[in-house]
Chain A
Amino acid sequence: MLIRGKALKYGDHVDTDVIIPGVYLSITDPRELAKHCMEGVDPDFPKKVKKGDILVAGINFGCGSSREHAPIALKECGVGAVVAKSFAAIFYRNAINIGFPLVECSDAVDEIDENDEIEIDMELGELKNITKGKRYKITPLPESIKNILDLGGLIEYVKSVKGSE
Chain B
Amino acid sequence: MGRSITEKILAAHSEQGDFKPGDIIDVTVDVLLMNDITGPVAVEVFNKMGDGEVFDKDKIAIVLDHFTPNKDVTSAKLCKTMRDFAAAKGIKHFYDAGYGIEHVVLPEDGIVKPGDLIIGGDSHTVTYGALGAFSTGMGSTDVAGVMALGKTWLKVPEQIKVLLVGLPNKWVSGKDVILYVISLLGTDGALGKSLEFDGPGAKHLDMDSRFSICNMAVECGAINGIFNFDDVTKEYTESLGLKDFCEYRSDSDAIYKKVIDVDLSELEPIVAMPHLPSRGLPVSEVNDIEIDQSFIGSCTNGRITDLRITSEIVKGKKIHPRVRGLIAPGSRKVFAQALKEGLIEIFTESGFTILPPGCGPCFGGHMGILAKGERCVSTTNRNFIGRMGDKGSEVYLANPAVAAASAITGKLTHPSEVI
Contacts and interface: CB of A to CB of B under 8 A. Distances in A.
Interface of A: 13, 15, 17-18, 21-23, 25-28, 39-41, 59-60, 63-69, 71, 86, 88-91, 93-94, 97-98, 142, 144-145, 153-155, 157-159, 161-163
Interface of B: 24, 37-38, 40-41, 44-45, 48-51, 66-67, 71-72, 74-75, 78, 120-123, 125, 137-142, 144-145, 148-149, 153, 155, 187-188, 191-192, 221, 223, 276, 363-366, 369, 382, 384-387, 391
Nearest to B383: A17
A152 to B, nearest CB: 12
Nearest to B146: A158
Nearest to A32: B74
A27 B385 contact: no
A59 B187 CA distance: 10
- A-B pairs with lowest CB-CB distance, top 7: A94-B139, A22-B363, A97-B141, A60-B188, A68-B139, A26-B74, A17-B384
A17 B139 contact: no
B384 A94 contact: no
A22 B138 contact: no
Contact of A154 (B74, B142, B187): B142
Given A66-B137, A94-B140, A155-B49, 14 more contacts: A22-B364, A26-B71, A28-B44, A64-B123, A67-B37, A67-B38, A68-B141, A90-B138, A97-B145, A142-B24, A144-B24, A155-B48, A158-B144, A159-B49
B69 to A, nearest CB: 13
18 contacts: A13-B187, A17-B386, A21-B391, A23-B364, A25-B67, A26-B37, A26-B71, A60-B188, A66-B122, A66-B137, A67-B38, A68-B140, A69-B41, A93-B139, A97-B142, A154-B145, A155-B45, A159-B50
A17 B51 CA distance: 35
A39 B390 CA distance: 11
Given A26-B75, A28-B40, A154-B144, A144 B188 contact: no
Contact of B391 (A40, A65, A157): A40
A72 to B, nearest CB: 8
Contacts of A65: 122-123, 363, 382
Contacts of B41: 28, 68-69
B139 A90 contact: yes
A18 B386 contact: yes
A28 B122 CA distance: 16
Contacts of A98: 141
A33 to B, nearest CB: 11
Contact of B187 (A60, A142, A162, A163): A60
Given A26-B74, A28-B78, A66-B123, A89 B223 contact: yes
Given A26-B67, A97-B141, A63 B385 contact: no
A56 to B, nearest CB: 17
Contacts of A17: 363-364, 382, 384-387
